[in-house]
Each structure stands twice: as structure tokens, then as C-alpha cells.
A and B are shown apart, each in its own frame.
Chain A
Amino acid sequence: MKVPMDWLREQFTTLKGSPEQLASLLTMGGLETVVDAGNVLEIDIIPNRSDCWSIRGIAREVSALTKYNVKTPPISVREISKKVAEGVKVEVKDKKLCPRYMARVIENVTIKESPDWLKSRLEKAGVRAINNVVDVTNYLLLELGQPMHAFDAKLIADRTIVVRRAKAGEKATTLDGKEHELSTDMLMITDAEKIIAVGGVMGCANTEVNNKTKTVILESAFFDPVSIHKTSKFLKLRTDSSIRFEHGVDWDVVEEALDRAAAMIADLSGGLVLKGKIDKKAGKRKPKTVTLRPERVNKILGTDILETEMTGILKRLGFGASGKKVKIPLFRAADIYREIDLIEEIARIYGYGKIEATMPNTSFPDKELDKEDIFRNKVREIMVGCGLNEVQTYSMQGPRDFEKCGLDPAKAVKVDNPMNVEESLMRTMLLPSLLNVVAHNLNRQIEDVFIFEIGKIYAPTDKKLPMERWVLTVAITGSPFMSAIDKGKVDYFYLKGILENLFASLGIKDHKLSEIDNHLIQPGRGAAIEGLGKIGELHPDIRKNYGIDKPVAFFGIDLEGLYQLVQEGKRYKPLPKFPSASRDIAMYLPKGLENQAVIAMIRKLGGAMVEDAFLFDKYKDSLAYRVVYRNPERTLTDEEVNKKHAEIIKALESKLNVRIRR
């Protein structure tokens, strides 16, 4: 809100201090303020301080912070003998949505430009000057925070105002020329025939004050805040009027503003004010009382503020404070109704800066470690250690992402009001986002992209909330080695090395990989990671969808499953007391026979004697396996090792059909 300094100073008998000093005081009192050109304070009004949407409200705040006293100008309305009832009839049909509706009538007005002082004030406050009637309502909206509306009486059918809810299917065209479809929970100001204003939000062109207007009907009301908020939000109409009504205006100022407006309009337009005013109200609003315990204030704040100081602060803010009972003025009724609200008032005017900083005197028993968070960090560390850069991508993807990876959007949780369609589906896989990152980088001449993300995926469930699960996904392309001579190329085996590194770092042994048939993976160059996910070279068709023309390898792993695998504690195994004996076998494997099967067979044949068996060398098509024999109780003799080894070789030949290279 824009507050011209001269307008603000007018609210005080004396107000000392530069605009900058006042801005700083207001900021540290809770209203962020900067000084704009032309000595205008630009104040950010926080949502709970509807009372500050006016020069008067700001003045009250300044008064509390500076201790200068605010003055209230006297009002005198000169009325003629003709009664207001002869000028307008008002009927309020919905007292819940409109608990108070007041009106005055001014005849014989001459519509013209406002005087310069008024125009310049409005302009400084950021409001366009229109004419001497509308400008007065705007002026008082700014000074007192009470929105008012002026109708041309001649255009009001039967001189009758009816305040009611909109009927189903009704439409209204507001001053900005837009037509709105209305719903039955919206409050309308109507005449005998038509809608003349969307109550508290915006008037309609059909009864607008114009150059020919001779008689003005002035409206000043209190509308239900929740209803105004809903209507303004639904119609996408946020006006100076609606923002004040939706926070609740001051019940008493409804009348004060009406009187001031009538006096000012009469003064500026030569108009004659009819006697009296319409006041349709549902009951009375009386100030509430809240009990304040000074010791409670100090207990919450950790201070020792004196009771007299508390009372002083509250009084300057306009509260009636005597003893422990505090009377809440109507202009603060919306945000102050509990002791804690008063404590905040005391704290902010006392000054947060003056409250001593202390450390909590708390002990922390029964702390729970977030072991899964620790685990995810460990995985992150291992991945970075493997040379992968961590990325973070949106949790949302678009139908295009799903399509490019051949995923089914029907299986995704949908965002109802996405900012754009590319952020409308909660991801079911990280891969599409990672491939976008790979493509983004390749398109910028970055040849090697080695990335991973640890993030959540989402899926619909039949419970209240969808499923969320942490996963790890890796995608790599380019040269694995950064050496100038041997760069190598990304392939299944390089990535599998990373996967093995991950498993080894976590202490997971011999995790099973098996054949896979998946549309994301190039056939024959990928595997299922049992119970956890998949690994492989990206299918060329998928690659093409991203315009990537070189091999990409990826793996995706369910981190919650992986976490379960590492839950068994580690146990120490004594080191062997007796030496091992190793024997090698070089052989050619028939097509289709997997390394995994050969090792399993050697282990099976060797039984307890074989401690380990692994592929250790490759020469052209011949694979060399090493078999390690050991007996934990004694040293094995050459004879028994040779005998067992010969048996294994023979069995490999007969059972697996391998050809031994001798």
C-alpha cells in the first residue's frame, strides 16, 4: 500500500522523523516498508493486518512505535430537510452475507473533475482520479479503509436497493466491461430489476456515476469476509474493495466513512445531503475482552517486561487496557481474539531486537535416527565416488516424457491444475527426466554425461494418499575414462562395474542378474537386477526419441528394497589358518552359456573344497577361470587338489559342453 508522507503527517498533531526513519520503524514493527520517490511509503501489508489497509491504520501503527498521538477530524454533515427515505429504499435479504448496509442520498450534484490537491493525493497513492464523487469514495477508502460505492440514483429502478444472493444462471457485467456468470452463494446489490453491483467486489456499468448524474446514492456496508473472498477468487476479480472486505472492515467506520463522504461530496459538487441515513444491521458489534496474564507474556517471550509497559503498548495500539482485561477495538477484531495475539502485539512493539537470545534448556531423550536418510546419503556418496554427477529434476513430468519412454500416463498420479502440461504427471520413473538431462548436455557439445538422481517416484493407490518410493537411477554416455589416450566407451560392462561397486560398498555379495525383456533395453544387452530393478544399454528406438546418437547405459534401483538388503548386521569371519591352492582352467564356452552358469557349476562340483571360482582372464574367445581350493582344518595336498580339479574339468566338458583349451 502506498502512503504519501504528507497525508500520514496530517493524522497527527505532530509527527517527527524522516520518511526513512519511519520506514525502518515500521519494518522492524512488522510491516515491510520502503521509501519511494515523492516521499511515499510503500508498505507491504501482511494478511492478518487488514486494519493497516488505510492511512489511519498505518498512523495507529506509527503512533504505537513512536508514541506520537493520532488525532481524529470532526465530521459535520449539513443536511436538508428532505428525508433519505424519500430518496432510496433498501432491503437486505441476506443478513448473514451482509450484516450491515448503510446508505445516504445526495441531490443536486455537479459532476466534474476533483480539485488538484485531491487528484494529486490519489495519484501519489496509486489511484487514478475519475470525478469528484468517485474520487471521494476512493479517498476515504484509502484514508479509512472503508470501501464505498456511489450509484446514479436516476438509473436505479424504483429507487430501491435489494441486497440478495445471485440467482442460478444470472450474469453481471462489471465496470471493467467483463461479463461474469454468477453462482447462488455470491452476494449481489440489485435494484427492482437488475444487478447493479457484485457486492463488495465491483460495481456495474449500468448504474455508474457519470457526467449527467444529478443524484447520488452512497453505499457503505459490512460484507461477510469469507463470502467476499470466495466471490473475488471465483470471479478472478481482486479489487481495492475486495481485499479490504475479505479481511473484515471496521464495523464503526462503516458509518464514519459514509458521513465523511457525504460531507465531502456536498462540499466538492455543490450537492445537498438528504436528512438521515439508511442503516440496516443485524445486531450490534461490541468490543470483546481478552484476559492477559503478564507472567504468561514473559514466560512465552523469555523476558521480564513490566506490566505498565505492556499496558502502555496496548493503549497506543488502540486497545482498552485496564488490569488484566484488555478490550479489543473493532478494527482489530479480525486478528486479535486470544491472549497469544496480545502477546505478539506486545512483543513486536517492545521490539524483537530487545528480547535476549538464549539456548533452549531441553534434553533430547529417545532420539530416533533416520536410518534411511543416512542410507540414501551413503548411496549418494558411493555414486559420486564412481564419477557420477548428481542431478535434481522435477517430480513432475509431461505426457511427452511418458510417450518418449513408452510409459503409460494412466498409471501416473495427475496434477489437477498444473502450470503447464509438461508438469502434469507425477513421475513413475526417473529415467525420462534423466534422458532429458543427457540430451540437454549433448546438445551443448558436452560429450560425456555421467549422472544419477536419488528421488521419489509416485503411483496411485486405493488409499487416501498415493504411493511414494525412493529410487536411484543412473544414466551414462560418452567416454568412461578421461585419459588422453585410452578413453574407452560407455557400455553395459562399464555400468555394471558401477553397480558392482555400489553392491560391494554396501556389502552385498553375488546379487543375481537375470535375462530381461524390456522395451527400454536393447535386446541382449541388459539384465534384471533381481528384486530391485534393471540395468542395460538404452534401446536405440528410445534413444532416437531424444535425438541421442550414441550409446546410453542406465540402471534403476529401488532404494527401499536395497535398504532392506543391507539390514543384516556384519559378522566377523576368522581369517584362514591354512594356505589355499589355486588351479586354472582355460576353455571355450558354447554359445548361450553364461559366465554365471559356469561359476555356479564349478562351485557345485567342487563342494566344500572350493572356496572361490571366478573369471580372471580372457584371451580371444578363450576364457580363463581360477578355482581356489582350501580346507579350513589342514593344508590340502597336491594330489587331492589335482584329483578334484580333474573331476571338475571332466564334468564341465560333459555337462556344460565346454571345450577345454590345453
Chain B
Amino acid sequence: MRDKILRIETDALAAINSANDPQSLEAARVKYVGKKSEFMQLLKSLGTLPPEERPKVGALINQVKVKLQKALNEKRMLLLQTEQHQKIEADKIDITLPGKGIRRGKYHPISTVMEEVKDIFLRLGYEIAEGPDIELDYYNFDGLNIPPHHPSRDMWSTLFITDKVLLRTHTSPVQIRVMEKRKPPLAIIAPGRVYRRDSDATHSPVFHQLEGFLVDEVVTFGDLKGTLTEFLRQMFGRKRNVRFRPSFFPFTEPSAEVDVECVMCNGKGCKLCKGTGWLEILGSGMIDPNVLKGVGYNPEKVSGFAFGMGIERIAMLKYGIDNIRLFYENDIRFLEQF
């Protein structure tokens, strides 16, 4: 009996050991410790033994049973781990294969730059106003101190609809429209499309501008400098130098052209800045008293500054684009670069 038990133990342990998958392990369990197994038969036949041997054999059987149970459990755990391990191995992927391709669009670079500029001024406290693309010549010229037949009208090559109606050549008419309706203090930006009879690598018949102006009781040329310097540093970097040059616009006096240190050569002089180290970004100035008078303000009581910039030009400088036509050609390979 004892030998038999020990033989079963040896056989069972061997079977458990050699089981390579849950099925053969289960088969081993049924065969050696299942209800109908030889081992269980032995346990039942314990009663046939002489009473003095029973405790000893009983203890041995229990011992073996516990041992086998433990071996089975251990093997089961091992097999489970192996199985999971194999599954993980099998699930390994080429992580360099492409993703599932969720389509994602891009903003047009003109919109991106326009929003960037708008955001800076909105944070400075400005509000947005809009005006029509097709404008009365009064708002585009006369109201801005550009009388009919004045040579300064030639500063803009204008596209006309009729004698009195034209495609606005700048966003400045919005200045007049807003001031006619409202009283200072005003801090306004006017983004939008403008039109010129012009076309080459850096001029497009359709392009975008952002106009801004501020009118209050005491606004100085120093305030104009401070505001535009802050804007340009937020746009082009804190460390970039900014300079103000006298210039001429009929609707501002004094007028200033604003340059920023070249983004390409950092002021050393290169092809982009034509060797000057500076890039012209903004036109600006103190709003001309004639303009203020024209909208019914008293230039002795209020003053203000105004500025305007071309969005395409800023985008071209920012991204190193050398032909303005690319913006309106809309080649997907161009659009997806931004």
C-alpha cells in the first residue's frame, strides 16, 4: 500500500511536471487526484487496513495529497503566466507602422497670423470692429484727409466699382465708421480684406490688413511707440529691437514707419532685409486733426494714434515665404506645412 502511494506520487509529479498546457494539466489532475482516480480509490480502501496501520497510511495519503495539490496549483499558475506571456509576445506590434489616419485639417497661414495679431491686441484691451469690403470713396479717402485729385490718392492703386464706390484699399475706413458712431475712449482693431490694382511676387490684388487705433483725452506719440513696441515684441520676440522712422500718411501726423530687426539675420544685414538689418512691418502715426474734426471730435480735447499692417507680409516674414501667390493658390502641400 505504501509503495503504491509513493509510486502514484512519483507518477503524478512526473505528469504534472510534463504538462505543457492547461488541458494536459487538467488531465493529470483527473487521472491522479480526481474522484475516480486510483489515489481516491486507495483513500476509500483505507478501511480495509488493519486499525493500527490506518493512521500512518492515512497521514501519508494526506501528505501526498497536499503535496500533489500544491504541485498542481504551482503548475497551474506557471502555465497561466506562460500563456499570458505568450499572448503578450504574440500581440507585439511594429510601433513604426503608421497610425490609423484620423483626418485633421489645417488653418490657412493667413488666418493663423491674423488670429495671432488679433489675440495680442485683444489682450491689450482692444475690441474688434468690421466694415464692408466694398466701400464708399468718402470713407476710403475723403474722411481720411485724402481729398479728390490729391496726388496722395496715387499712393493706392484703386479698383473701382463706380465713381463713388470702390474696393477698399486699406482697413482705415473702419476708423471713420466707428468714430462717426461712438465717442472716445476707443481702442479698436479692424481686421479684413483689402484690394489694390497690383500684382507681383510681393503684391496681391487681394490681401489682408489689420488696422488699429486708440483715441482718448491724452494719447501721445510715446504711447504709440510703447504700444507698437509691445506688440512687435510679443509677435517677433522680446529681444528684437524696434525702430520708428518718420514717414508720410495723409491721415496721420506725425507719421511713423515701424521696423523690426530682421528675423533672418538678426540685424546683421541679408537678402531679406536688403542689407539694412531692418524689416518694415507697420505704418502708424498720430491721427491727423483733420480726421478727428471730420468725425466731429475736437482735436484740442482728444488725441489718438492709428496703425496698420499687412498680414501677408508678416506671414511671409514669419514663415520665409517668398511669393505671395502661394497663399491664394491653396496647394494642399503648401497648406499642410502650417
Taking a contact as CB atoms under 8 Å apart, the answer to whether B222 and A356 are in contact is yes
A interface, size bucket: 35 or more
In the assembly, what is the distance between CA of A399 and CA of B41, in Å?
102
Q: In chain B, what residue has the closest Cβ to A374?
A: B128
Chain B residues contacting A340 (CB-CB under 8 Å) are 253-254, 286, 288-289, 299
Q: In chain A, what residue has the closest Cβ to B193?
A: A395
- Nearest-neighbour CB distance to chain A for B1, whole angstroms, equals 64
Question: Which residues A366-404 have CB closer than 8 A to chain B?
Answer: 367-370, 373, 377, 380, 383-396
Taking a contact as CB atoms under 8 Å apart, the answer to whether A395 and B133 are in contact is yes
Q: Is B319 an interface residue (CB 8 A)?
A: no
Known A-B contacts A301-B221, A359-B226; A468 and B132 likewise in contact (beta carbons under 8 Å): yes
**What sequence of 0s and 1s flags, for each residue 317-337 of chain B, a beta carbon within 8 Å of any chain A beta carbon?**
000000000011111110110
- Nearest-neighbour CB distance to chain A for B175, whole angstroms, equals 16
Q: Which of B161, B223, B247, B274 contacts A414 (CB 8 A)?
A: B161
- Nearest-neighbour CB distance to chain A for B135, whole angstroms, equals 7
Taking a contact as CB atoms under 8 Å apart, the answer to whether B246 and A352 are in contact is yes
In the assembly, what is the distance between CA of A452 and CA of B288, in Å?
41
Taking a contact as CB atoms under 8 Å apart, the answer to whether B103 and A482 are in contact is yes
Chain A residues contacting B222 (CB-CB under 8 Å) are 301-303, 355-358
Q: Which of A390, A418, A449 contacts B107 (CB 8 A)?
A: A390
Q: Is A80 an interface residue (CB 8 A)?
A: no
In the assembly, what is the distance between CA of A269 and CA of B159, in Å?
50
**What sequence of 0s and 1s flags, for each residue 336-366 of chain A, a beta carbon within 8 Å of any chain B beta carbon?**
0010110110011000110111111111110
Taking a contact as CB atoms under 8 Å apart, the answer to whether B105 and A464 are in contact is no
Q: In chain A, what residue has the closest Cβ to B219?
A: A360
**What sequence of 0s and 1s flags, for each residue 74-106 of chain A, a beta carbon within 8 Å of any chain B beta carbon?**
000000000000000000000000000000000
Q: Which of A34, A367, A441, A484 contacts B331 (CB 8 A)?
A: A441
In the assembly, what is the distance between CA of A27 and CA of B214, in Å?
27
Taking a contact as CB atoms under 8 Å apart, the answer to whether B111 and A390 are in contact is yes
Taking a contact as CB atoms under 8 Å apart, the answer to whether B127 and A369 are in contact is yes
Chain B residues contacting A34 (CB-CB under 8 Å) are 274, 276
In the assembly, what is the distance between CA of A246 and CA of B223, in Å?
35
Q: In chain B, what residue has the closest Cβ to A381?
A: B107
Taking a contact as CB atoms under 8 Å apart, the answer to whether A446 and B220 are in contact is no
Q: Which of B134, B150, B256, B303 contacts A458 (CB 8 A)?
A: B134
Chain B residues contacting A356 (CB-CB under 8 Å) are 222, 225
Q: Is A437 an interface residue (CB 8 A)?
A: yes
Q: Is B2 an interface residue (CB 8 A)?
A: no
Q: In chain A, what residue has the closest Cβ to B110?
A: A392
Taking a contact as CB atoms under 8 Å apart, the answer to whether B221 and A302 are in contact is yes
- Nearest-neighbour CB distance to chain A for B89, whole angstroms, equals 24
Taking a contact as CB atoms under 8 Å apart, the answer to whether A344 and B254 are in contact is yes
Taking a contact as CB atoms under 8 Å apart, the answer to whether B161 and A413 are in contact is yes
Q: Is A419 an interface residue (CB 8 A)?
A: yes
Taking a contact as CB atoms under 8 Å apart, the answer to whether A355 and B221 are in contact is yes
Q: Is A416 an interface residue (CB 8 A)?
A: yes
- Nearest-neighbour CB distance to chain A for B63, whole angstroms, equals 57
Q: Is B165 an interface residue (CB 8 A)?
A: yes
Q: In chain B, what residue has the closest Cβ to A417?
A: B160
**What sequence of 0s and 1s flags, for each residue 223-234 of chain A, a beta carbon within 8 Å of any chain B beta carbon?**
001100110010
Q: Is B51 an interface residue (CB 8 A)?
A: no
Chain B residues contacting A394 (CB-CB under 8 Å) are 205-206, 328
Taking a contact as CB atoms under 8 Å apart, the answer to whether B133 and A456 are in contact is yes
Chain B residues contacting A301 (CB-CB under 8 Å) are 220-222, 254
Q: Which of A358, A367, A385 contacts B105 (CB 8 A)?
A: A385
Question: Which residues B206-237 have CB closer than 8 A to chain A?
Answer: 206, 214, 216, 218-223, 225-227, 229-230
Taking a contact as CB atoms under 8 Å apart, the answer to whether B185 and A352 are in contact is no
Known A-B contacts A344-B254, A362-B214, A392-B327; A300 and B134 likewise in contact (beta carbons under 8 Å): no
Q: Is A161 an interface residue (CB 8 A)?
A: no
Q: Which of B165, B220, B225, B254 contacts A348 (CB 8 A)?
A: B254
Taking a contact as CB atoms under 8 Å apart, the answer to whether B248 and A46 are in contact is yes
In the assembly, what is the distance between CA of A568 and CA of B226, in Å?
41
Grouping DSSP codes into helix (H, G, I), strand (E, B) and loop, the A interface class, with mixed when no group exceeds half, is loop
- Nearest-neighbour CB distance to chain A for B108, whole angstroms, equals 4
**Stretch binding the partner chain, chosen from B13-21, B27-35, B72-80, B94-102:** B94-102
Taking a contact as CB atoms under 8 Å apart, the answer to whether B246 and A415 are in contact is no
In the assembly, what is the distance between CA of A229 and CA of B104, in Å?
54
Taking a contact as CB atoms under 8 Å apart, the answer to whether A446 and B106 are in contact is no
Chain B residues contacting A419 (CB-CB under 8 Å) are 159, 197-199, 205
In the assembly, what is the distance between CA of A273 and CA of B130, in Å?
65
- Nearest-neighbour CB distance to chain B for A395, whole angstroms, equals 6
Chain B residues contacting A413 (CB-CB under 8 Å) are 134, 161
Taking a contact as CB atoms under 8 Å apart, the answer to whether A360 and B248 are in contact is no
In the assembly, what is the distance between CA of A616 and CA of B152, in Å?
68
- Nearest-neighbour CB distance to chain B for A326, whole angstroms, equals 16
Chain A residues contacting B169 (CB-CB under 8 Å) are none
In the assembly, what is the distance between CA of A233 and CA of B332, in Å?
43
Taking a contact as CB atoms under 8 Å apart, the answer to whether B128 and A370 are in contact is yes
Chain A residues contacting B193 (CB-CB under 8 Å) are 395, 456
Chain A residues contacting B221 (CB-CB under 8 Å) are 300-303, 347, 352, 355
Known A-B contacts A390-B108, A449-B332; A418 and B246 likewise in contact (beta carbons under 8 Å): no
Taking a contact as CB atoms under 8 Å apart, the answer to whether B129 and A389 are in contact is no
Q: Which of A226, A341, A364, A416 contacts B125 (CB 8 A)?
A: A364
Quick one: which of A352, A414, A423, A449 has the most chain B CB within 10 A?
A: A352
Chain B residues contacting A423 (CB-CB under 8 Å) are 205
Chain B residues contacting A281 (CB-CB under 8 Å) are none
Q: Is B255 an interface residue (CB 8 A)?
A: yes
Q: Which of B106, B128, B206 contacts A396 (CB 8 A)?
A: B206
Chain A residues contacting B330 (CB-CB under 8 Å) are 389, 391-393, 437, 440-441, 451
Q: Which of B127, B218, B230, B245 contacts A368 (CB 8 A)?
A: B127
Known A-B contacts A47-B152, A299-B218, A416-B161; A393 and B328 likewise in contact (beta carbons under 8 Å): yes
- Nearest-neighbour CB distance to chain B for A392, whole angstroms, equals 5
Q: Is A450 an interface residue (CB 8 A)?
A: yes
Chain A residues contacting B227 (CB-CB under 8 Å) are 359-360
The 10 tightest CB contacts between A and B, nearest first, are A387-B103, A482-B101, A302-B220, A302-B222, A30-B246, A348-B246, A344-B254, A370-B128, A384-B105, A357-B225
User: What are some 29 contacts across the A-B interface (CB < 8 A)?
Assistant: A34-B274, A34-B276, A48-B152, A229-B150, A299-B303, A300-B220, A301-B254, A340-B289, A343-B253, A357-B222, A357-B226, A358-B226, A360-B223, A364-B125, A364-B185, A365-B185, A369-B127, A370-B127, A373-B128, A384-B104, A384-B107, A386-B103, A387-B103, A392-B328, A394-B206, A395-B206, A415-B161, A465-B135, A482-B100
For the complex with contacts A390-B335, A395-B133, 13 further pairs of A-B residues with Cβ separation under 8 Å are A28-B243, A47-B151, A341-B253, A357-B226, A359-B223, A364-B126, A364-B185, A369-B127, A389-B332, A392-B330, A441-B330, A465-B132, A466-B134
